[in-house]
């Protein structure tokens, strides 16, 4: 009897131990699966920005191009026709439209712009314009190009046309006239819209905009300013600092504009002038700001080397090249 009781207890113990092992293994697998699902969900969520746009940035960039500003000759290209989100580089078209309006005497630099409630509500990079506050067009252009103020962009657009959509139509009209066939502007400042389509362009298209801006000497006055005060009549003026870190740190850089929002990544359109030559470089969609800036510097440096190597080294060389062309 004792022998049977002992065998029963041993059997029962083994069965319980076996069941515990199975339960523990199942629980561990379930936990691992749950963790993996959470990680996958988290990763999937990081691919979409708050604006609902799919993140497209990568390192070193989505695409890039550099050209000779004098001839338009391509000095460097790497996926230059990729479509991306220009973000605040949109403000370069805003600048072009405003400068052309000034030259046509439709508005002036000293026009007084009264800030509306709509402008005061604009978020993102800004100079914190307040409703009924008054600023000159000149001051607002500096705010547009130095700290990339979204509210200044809206204020300028409304001052010129009185209607945001009308100004956007002018931006798209100029883009088509410049041959920017892969560009569509949806905003006056490059902010990702809560609804609707974002601004879209390509590195190559942006170089066309840059070339047009260079026809207006005033453009570089604004884009080359590293630091400037805003609201100088205030006890505590706002210090505006240029978002283009190549200005003041890379020899000869005097423009143009950077762009960033989460889905777009970091982009830049930069121009450098050295020894009478000028190069324009555009980079779209870097995942890291420092990578974008270092890539821009490298591309600009290599492009100048390419440009210099293709130039005649003497008068006799120039004459030989001319003679060969005539033949």
CB 303 within 8 A of CB 279: yes
Closest CA to 268 of 257, 253, 279: 257
CB 138 within 8 A of CB 232: no
Show Cβ contacts of residue 148 under 8 Å, excluding neighbours closer than 6 positions: 88, 91, 125, 243, 257, 258
CB 260 within 8 A of CB 293: no
Instruction: Confirm whether 88 is a catalytic residue.
Output: yes
CA 131 to CA 161: how far, in whole Å? 19
CB 63 within 8 A of CB 265: no
CB 263 within 8 A of CB 58: no
Kindly calculate the radius of gyration of the chain based on its CA atoms and give it in whole angstroms: 29
At 302 the three-state DSSP class reads: helix
Tokens of 93: 């078209």
Tokens of 44: 């999937």
For the chain, list the strands marked E by DSSP. Answer: 63-68, 74-78, 112-114, 134-136, 227-230, 238-241, 253-261, 265-274, 277-286
CA 89 to CA 214: how far, in whole Å? 15
CA 94 to CA 257: how far, in whole Å? 12
Closest CA to 130 of 98, 157, 152: 152
Instruction: Confirm whether 148 is a catalytic residue.
Output: yes
Catalytic site residue from 57, 83, 91, 208: 91
Catalytic site residue from 57, 83, 88, 224: 88
CB 80 within 8 A of CB 202: yes
Catalytic site residue from 57, 83, 125, 148: 148
Q: How many CB atoms lie within 10 A of CB 260?
A: 23
Active site residues: 88, 91, 148
């Amino acid at each position: 009897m004792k022998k049977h009781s002992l065998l029963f207890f041993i059997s029962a113990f083994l069965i319980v131990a076996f069941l515990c092992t199975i339960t523990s293994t199942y629980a561990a697998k379930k936990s691992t699966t749950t963790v993996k699902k959470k990680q996958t969900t988290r990763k999937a969520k990081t691919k979409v920005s708050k604006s609902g746009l799919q993140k497209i940035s990568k390192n070193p960039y989505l695409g890039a191009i550099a050209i000779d500003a004098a001839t338009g000759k391509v000095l460097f290209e790497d996926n230059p026709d990729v479509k991306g989100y220009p973000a605040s580089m949109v403000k370069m078209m805003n600048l072009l439209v405003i400068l052309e309006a000034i030259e046509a005497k439709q508005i002036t630099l000293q026009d007084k712009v009264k800030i509306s409630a709509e402008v005061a509500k604009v978020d993102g990079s800004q100079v914190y314009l307040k409703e009924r506050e008054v600023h000159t067009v000149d001051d607002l252009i500096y705010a547009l190009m130095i700290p990339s103020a979204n509210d200044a962009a809206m204020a300028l657009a409304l001052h010129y046309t009185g209607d945001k959509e009308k100004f956007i139509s002018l931006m798209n009209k100029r883009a088509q006239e410049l041959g920017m066939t892969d560009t569509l502007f949806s905003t006056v400042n490059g902010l990702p819209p809560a609804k609707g389509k974002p601004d879209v362009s390509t590195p190559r298209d942006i170089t066309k905009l840059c070339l047009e801006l260079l026809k207006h000497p005033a453009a570089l006055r604004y884009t080359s300013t590293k630091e400037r005060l805003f609201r100088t009549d205030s006890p505590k003026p706002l210090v505006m600092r240029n978002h283009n870190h190549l200005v003041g740190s890379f020899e000869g850089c005097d423009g143009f504009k950077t762009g960033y929002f989460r889905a777009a990544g970091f982009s830049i359109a930069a121009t450098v002038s050295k020894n009478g030559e000028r190069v324009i470089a555009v980079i779209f969609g870097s995942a890291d700001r420092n990578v974008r800036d270092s890539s821009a510097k490298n591309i600009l440096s290599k492009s100048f080397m390419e440009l210099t190597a293709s130039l005649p080294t003497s008068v006799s060389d120039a004459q030989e090249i001319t003679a060969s062309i005539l033949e």
